[in-house]
């Protein structure tokens, strides 16, 4: 029996992303790794979570380990709706809300519910690999749209929509990460958000807004400037996805989405066969954490932690990369994007840099849906010790200068 012949057409196109493939290679103890994109475990409130866990088990015994409803804990859904209303100006009812086991699951279920093979999905250049992989697993056709410092170039988006239509691709989804995008760190202007909301509504295309990092803004950033597209007037066609992974703890796997009630209902059916429910215990931990009023201080702690890390990285970048690379300083999130001189191939650079300097990063190429730029890379400052940020970037700049010479 040839196992390949047993696979479905969908499974035949599934691939592990380059980031996953690199994980084993770059996460070795002797390597200074700017590759790992995960939040730093030092920010996870393990003591508070331990207290809650203890109290829950004392109070409820085995019940806290029971299945729960597919849509998500009703009180947590209510709390998330209230929180998004007061913090972000997003108006959504429980009927328009669903809890997911991580926003990656949310993105995957949305793709499953909305996409047929050949459907067009429009993504930023560059874009988040996890989302693009989900769209590709459902055999969507990705159209890359150029971006500038304010977000997507909407003139280019309109041209790409026309192109997709002329080629017979039904236009289904525009996927965007307007706050501290992974990987480029871009923050969309409010004008661009409103314009996308209008354009997509007129074009009859759903916007999938992924706000994984919106609460992770650095010192000096006005959170008003981060108000989601979903908070715009007439944003009924926008599906908003966010997560507790970055401000609380990713291992809990608790995230949420707001969208049109009919679509949310379908996603609930999809989740029924996907995993029945988000882990009951995780939902209860998050709910208690919110109810005890601990989330504002926790989010502030995470913001302070990454503000300091990013500042250390800026100092090191100015020291070692001035005149060598171009970058816009990250204003939130976990990532710093770097454009290298023409002619430098970031994938080749990674091999040399790992082998000779024990420094790792993620090459930019895989973040591009279509023709990639090979001379860009993503640095994460999240998990690198302060002194190693300077050492790592010093080594990396030396390696690039050598390659140029």
Ligand X SMILES: Cc1ncc(COP(=O)(O)O)c(C=O)c1O
DSSP per residue, 275-314: TSSS-HHHHHHHHHHHHTT-HHHHHHHHHHHHHHHHHHHH
Which one, 127 or 307, has the nearer CB to ligand X?
127
Closest CA to 42 of 302, 297, 271, 339: 302
Q: Is 210 in the site for ligand X (CB under 6 A)?
A: yes
Inter-residue contact 270 to 113 (CB < 8 Å): yes
Which one, 73 or 245, has the nearer CB to ligand X?
245
Number of residues located near ligand X, criterion CB under 6 A: 14
Q: Which of 177, 344, 346, 384 binds ligand X (CB under 6 A)?
A: 177
Q: Which of 109, 122, 128, 175 binds ligand X (CB under 6 A)?
A: 128
Inter-residue contact 50 to 294 (CB < 8 Å): no
Closest CA to 333 of 179, 205, 139: 179
Closest CA to 392 of 344, 357, 350, 340: 357
Measured CA to CA, the distance from residue 251 to residue 392 in angstroms comes to: 28
Q: Is 336 in the site for ligand X (CB under 6 A)?
A: no
Closest separation in Å from C-beta 23 to ligand X? 13
Inter-residue contact 264 to 95 (CB < 8 Å): yes
Closest separation in Å from C-beta 243 to ligand X? 3
Q: Is 212 in the site for ligand X (CB under 6 A)?
A: yes
Q: Is 178 in the site for ligand X (CB under 6 A)?
A: no
Closest separation in Å from C-beta 257 to ligand X? 11
Q: Which of 111, 255, 313, 376 binds ligand X (CB under 6 A)?
A: 255
Q: Which of 32, 33, 34, 37 binds ligand X (CB under 6 A)?
A: 37
Name the E strands within 130-184. Answer: 141-145, 147-148, 151-152, 171-176
Which one, 143 or 213, has the nearer CB to ligand X?
213
Q: Is 250 in the site for ligand X (CB under 6 A)?
A: yes
Closest separation in Å from C-beta 184 to ligand X? 11
Which one, 76 or 344, has the nearer CB to ligand X?
76
Inter-residue contact 102 to 258 (CB < 8 Å): no
Q: Which of 33, 43, 104, 312 binds ligand X (CB under 6 A)?
A: 104
Candidates 45-53, 100-108, 286-294, 380-388 — which segment interacts with ligand X by CB under 6 A?
100-108
Q: Which of 179, 231, 245, 375 binds ligand X (CB under 6 A)?
A: 245
Q: Is 231 in the site for ligand X (CB under 6 A)?
A: no
Closest separation in Å from C-beta 39 to ligand X? 9
Q: Is 39 in the site for ligand X (CB under 6 A)?
A: no
3-class DSSP state for residue 158? helix
| Number of separate helices (H) and strands (E) present in the chain | 14, 14
Closest CA to 35 of 377, 388, 349: 377
Tokens describing residue 191: 């004008």
Q: Which of 33, 92, 97, 103 binds ligand X (CB under 6 A)?
A: 103
Q: Is 102 in the site for ligand X (CB under 6 A)?
A: yes
Q: Residues near 47 by Cβ (< 8 Å), separated by ≥ 6?
A: none
Which one, 213 or 327, has the nearer CB to ligand X?
213
Closest separation in Å from C-beta 61 to ligand X? 30
Would you put residue 279 in left (φ > 0), alpha (ψ -120 to 50) or beta? beta
Closest separation in Å from C-beta 19 to ligand X? 9
3-class DSSP state for residue 230? helix
Give CA torsion, residues 200, 203, 204, 206, to 10 deg: -30
Candidates 8-16, 99-107, 313-321, 339-347 — which segment interacts with ligand X by CB under 6 A?
99-107
Q: Which of 73, 125, 182, 235 binds ligand X (CB under 6 A)?
A: 182
Which one, 255 or 359, has the nearer CB to ligand X?
255
For ligand X, the binding residues (CB under 6 A) are 37, 102-104, 128, 130, 177, 182, 210, 212, 243, 245, 250, 255
């Amino acid at each position: 029996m040839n196992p390949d012949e047993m696979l479905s057409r969908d499974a035949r196109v599934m691939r592990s992303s380059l980031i996953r493939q690199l994980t084993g290679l770059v996460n070795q103890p002797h390597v200074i790794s700017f590759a790992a994109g995960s939040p730093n475990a030092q920010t996870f409130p393990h003591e508070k979570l331990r207290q809650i866990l203890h109290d829950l088990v004392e109070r409820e015994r085995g019940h806290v380990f029971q299945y729960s409803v597919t849509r998500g804990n009703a009180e947590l859904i209510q709390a998330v709706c209230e929180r998004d209303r007061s913090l972000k100006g997003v108006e959504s009812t429980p009927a328009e809300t669903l809890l997911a086991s991580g926003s990656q699951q949310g993105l995957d279920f949305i793709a499953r519910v909305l996409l047929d093979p050949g459907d067009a999905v429009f993504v930023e250049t560059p874009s988040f690999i996890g989302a693009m992989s989900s769209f590709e697993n459902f055999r969507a056709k990705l159209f890359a749209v150029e971006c500038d410092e304010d977000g997507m170039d909407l003139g280019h988006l309109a041209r790409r929509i026309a192109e997709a239509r002329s080629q017979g691709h039904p236009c289904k989804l525009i996927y965007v990460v307007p706050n501290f995008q992974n990987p480029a760190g871009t923050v969309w202007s409010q004008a661009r958000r409103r314009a996308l909301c209008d354009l997509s509504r007129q074009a009859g295309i759903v916007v999938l807004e992924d706000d994984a990092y919106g609460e992770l803004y650095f010192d000096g950033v006005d959170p008003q400037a981060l108000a989601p597209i979903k908070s715009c007037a007439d944003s009924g066609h926008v599906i908003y996805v966010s997560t507790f992974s970055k401000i609380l703890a990713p291992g809990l796997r608790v995230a949420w989405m707001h969208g049109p009630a009919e679509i949310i209902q379908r996603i609930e059916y999809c989740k029924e066969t996907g995993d029945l429910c988000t882990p009951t215990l995780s939902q209860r931990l998050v709910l208690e954490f919110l109810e005890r009023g601990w989330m504002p201080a926790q989010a502030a702690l995470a913001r302070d932690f990454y503000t300091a890390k990013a500042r250390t990285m800026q100092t090191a970048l100015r020291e070692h990369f001035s005149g060598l690379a171009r970058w816009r300083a990250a204003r939130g999130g976990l990532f710093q994007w770097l454009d290298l001189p023409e002619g430098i191939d970031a994938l080749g650079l990674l091999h040399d840099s790992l082998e000779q300097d024990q420094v790792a990063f993620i090459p930019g190429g895989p973040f591009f849906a279509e023709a990639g730029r090979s001379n860009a890379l993503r640095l994460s400052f999240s998990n690198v010790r302060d002194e190693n940020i300077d050492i790592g970037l010093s080594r990396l700049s030396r390696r690039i200068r050598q390659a140029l010479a």
